[in-house]
Copies of this chain bind each other. A is one copy, B any other.
Amino acid sequence: MIVVMDADCNEKELQEILDLIDEEGFEAHLSQGIDKQIVGLIGDSAGKEQLQERINSYNQVDKVIPVMEPYKLTGWKFAPEKTVIDVDGVKIGGENPVVMAGPCSVESKEQILETARVVKEAGAEVLRGGAFKPRTSPYSFQGLGERGLELLSLAREKTGLKIITELMDTEHIEMVTSHTDIIQIGSRNMKNYALLKEIGRLDKPVMLKRGMASTVKDWLLAAEYIMSEGNQDVMLCERGIKTFCDDTRYTMDLSAIPLVREKSHLPVIADPSHGTGRWELVAPMSRAAVAGGADGLLIEVHPEPKNALSDGPQSLKPEKFEKLMNELEKLNHALSDIDDSVSPAV
């Protein structure tokens, strides 16, 4: 941590700051400049946001600049190697990107079983489908709830696909975890810290979607909430951020994929369906994400998008999904031939 102060700052205030630094167990190094003076803190300041704020509150302090990244467990520093999450045989974070596909919402037995059948056939390994849906309007379809979870379990039984579905609140933890293989934490809940802490005490893989107004740093800190409670099986998912650009539903920040690979050992998934909001862009953005190093894809597929109860405009029809899976296979083949291709920055 570095403290920048006016060169001619009041001696008394400087001394107070030096005392505070000492009390907190850091060593201080002073560099006196012409207009500014700089105090460097020596010691492990990760997680010392509070000290940073206190120093920043002094009148004569210009700014306090953190030097260390604020996350610990999500970073590479103490990780021997890249995390591979084994979901009952499906390996996420390993050599091949894993495709998770299915409808936005579970709507009926026929719909989910039919979708499961086609995505399985096309090569997907995980079935996605929402039973509890976070909707902007209270008057929109809110999901089938427990009945939806039961249908997902049934689809797993019939196809062998693993299940991923969203958990929206602490109240339904037991119900959701008893049916799903991977818990999805949605974008709107990325900073629902009470929920993150509860999830951290479970023994179940989690996919943490990026908040639509979150930097990569804040996203890794949200993962840190889960990991610091014990659960290490966390994967991240880029799903688009809010920007001025209204040509697409969100702006998919694809550079977050290689950036997470550089900063963290956790697997990172891309969701081009939410990221763009338009089915026409799902195939090119899926190829782009995989070429950029994604460990997996989350793709909305619906047998009849026009009858979908949610997110129809961004859902692929089965035949388009199948075509995309073929393209991805060729792409993976080329990428596997590229040395380090999916781990560029490590």
Partner-B contacts on A (CB < 8 A)? 2, 4, 16, 29, 31-36, 38, 40, 42-44, 46-50, 53-58, 62, 65, 67-68, 70-71, 134-141, 168-171, 188-189, 191-195, 197, 211-213, 215-218, 221, 224-225, 228, 241-248, 251-259, 261-262, 275-276, 280-281, 283-285, 287-293, 305-313, 315, 326-327, 330-331, 333-335, 337-338, 341, 344-345
Contact = CB atoms under 8 A, between A and B. Distances in A.
Contacts of A193: 134-135, 138, 168, 188
B288 A289 contact: yes
A49 B221 contact: no
Given A2-B38, A58-B306, A213-B213, A138 B221 contact: yes
Nearest to A63: B67
A252 B256 CA distance: 10
Number of copies: 4
A320 to B, nearest CB: 10
Contact of A291 (B44, B46, B288, B337): B288
Which of A34, A62, A192 has the most chain B CB within a 10 Å cutoff?
A192
B281 A345 contact: yes
13 contacts: A53-B312, A54-B309, A62-B67, A70-B137, A137-B224, A168-B194, A169-B194, A254-B285, A258-B284, A284-B293, A287-B291, A288-B291, A331-B338
A230 B71 CA distance: 42
Contact of A252 (B189, B216, B255): B255
- Name A's interface SS: mixed
B40 A38 contact: yes
B31 A42 contact: yes
Contacts of A138: 193, 197, 221, 224-225, 228
Given A44-B35, A168-B193, A248-B255, A54 B306 contact: yes
